[in-house]
């Protein structure tokens, strides 16, 4: 199986040893507490699950600035996004041990225990520098820029030991999986070539066919459909609805035992190209050999060019930084000539009149108006689940 990023073995920060975990839970009751923001809590969950291997905790300011600028830490570890714990709490002291509390669960239970290596002030100029590098914009209307600017101006760094997976394990017991669990399941299947498909949306026909095309062209053993389960921007479809619609599509339209439907606990960054590289890092940690990167991957609005998330792998990711490879997907559309979804680059004999262009935005608009999308856009069984959800919004 493909190696994890940056190490020979996956090193999740969740404490699997029962005695050690019980001791940490007991210790946490005596420690000063830091209430995390949702972004820092999501980072802890991802660190706990092994997704951000080989990191041992939150980055310090020097590493964060270096990662933002050059996509590697001061010591040279390739990483595309700073993994940080920013706060406005000024009471944390370097050298202390603290209990990190979960902002997303009632009662703010302890999510992790942290040994604080450094507590550093972060200037507005440094926040702006990192934002511009990560998001390629400083527009406060960009949801990622807006969130990053609001997290705080004190960076608390150091190793953590994770005690649970927040609300993800309880709210999505059939879907949430750690990178450890996914690697184990891939090994159980005996899969060698595994293609990951990232989604924060329900899957319409184009997404379905992209998975099928990638699997056929790469002679893959299986597909990992891997959905984001954390915080989204207003108007995005909630995780439980996406989960139900994706499972229905897989159940009916894919051969048995060729698809794993799973989810991960992270808040969407909407960082376009940089987030695509982060997706590649943690899919390699899951044991995947390939990641589908299509049009406007992890984008929002018109902040990124349609295929910037592909070109970053050619132009900015150093050779050998990742073992995982990218499956580049072109614009997809339904071909009236061939009666199927195609990548437009594969049918040079077609004209614009030969295509029905597929768009998740268009599907959402139709569903919002109570109109059933045509089968070229969405499978009827999927459309029914989405339509039922949209009808609840009107009541």
**CA dist., res. 282 & res. 224, Å (int):** 12
201 has catalytic annotation: yes
DSSP string, 145-188: HHHHHTS-SEEEEEEEEE---TTHHHH-TTTB--HHHHHHHHHH
**Residues sharing a CB contact under 8 Å with residue 160, sequence separation 6 or more, in sequence order:** 13, 44, 47, 56, 57, 58, 100, 112, 113, 114, 115
**CA dist., res. 43 & res. 54, Å (int):** 13
Catalytic residue among 183, 201, 205, 242: 201
Q: Please tell me whether the peptide bond between 41 and the residue prior to it is cis, using omega within 30 degrees of 0.
A: no
Measure Cα distances from 1 to 8, 58, 284, 348 in Å: 11, 28, 10, 37
Catalytic residue among 101, 200, 242, 364: 200
DSSP string, 100-137: EEPTTSTT--EEEEEE--EEEE--HHHHHHHHHHHHS-
DSSP string, 243-303: HHHHHHHHHHHS-TTSEEEEEE-------THHHHHHHHHHHHHHT-SEEEE-TTTT--TTS
The set of catalytic residues is: 200-201
């Amino acid at each position: 199986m493909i190696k994890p990023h940056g190490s020979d073995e996956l090193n999740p920060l969740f404490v699997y040893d029962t005695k050690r975990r019980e001791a940490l839970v007991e210790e946490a009751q005596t420690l000063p507490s830091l209430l995390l923001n949702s972004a820092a809590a999501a980072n802890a969950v991802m660190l706990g699950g092994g997704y951000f291997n080989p990191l041992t905790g939150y980055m310090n300011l020097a590493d964060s600035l270096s990662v933002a600028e050059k996509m590697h830490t001061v010591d040279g570890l390739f990483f595309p996004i700073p993994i940080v714990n920013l706060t406005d709490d000024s009471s944390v002291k370097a050298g202390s041990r603290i209990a990190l509390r979960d902002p997303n669960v009632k009662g703010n239970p302890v999510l992790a225990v942290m040994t604080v290596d450094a507590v550093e002030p972060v200037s507005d100029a440094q926040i702006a520098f990192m934002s511009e590098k990560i998001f390629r914009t400083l527009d406060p209307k960009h949801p990622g820029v807006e969130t990053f600017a609001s997290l705080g101006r004190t960076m608390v760094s150091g190793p953590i030991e994770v005690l649970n997976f927040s609300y993800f394990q309880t709210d999505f017991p059939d879907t949430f999986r750690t990178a450890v669990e996914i690697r184990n399941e891939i090994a159980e299947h005996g899969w060698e070539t595994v293609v990951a498909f990232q989604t924060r949306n329900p899957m319409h026909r184009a997404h379905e066919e992209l998975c099928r095309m990638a699997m056929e062209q790469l002679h893959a053993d299986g597909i990992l459909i891997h959905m984001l389960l954390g915080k989204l921007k207003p108007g995005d479809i909630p995780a439980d609805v996406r989960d139900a619609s994706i499972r229905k599509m897989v159940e009916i339209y894919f051969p048995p035992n060729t698809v794993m439907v799973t989810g991960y606990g992270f808040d969407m960054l909407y960082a376009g190209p940089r987030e695509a590289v982060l997706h590649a890092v943690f899919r390699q940690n899951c044991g995947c050999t390939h990641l589908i990167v299509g049009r406007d991957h992890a984008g929002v609005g018109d902040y990124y060019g349609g295929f910037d998330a592909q070109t970053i792998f050619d132009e900015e990711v150093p050779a050998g930084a990742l073992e995982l490879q990218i499956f580049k997907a072109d614009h997809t559309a339904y071909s009236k000539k061939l009666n199927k979804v195609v990548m437009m680059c594969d049918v040079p004999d077609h004209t614009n009149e030969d295509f029905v262009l597929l768009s998740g935005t268009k599907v959402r608009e139709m569903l919002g108006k109570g109109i059933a999308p045509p089968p070229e856009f969405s499978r009827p069984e999927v459309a029914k689940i989405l339509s039922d959800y949209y009808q609840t919004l009107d009541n």
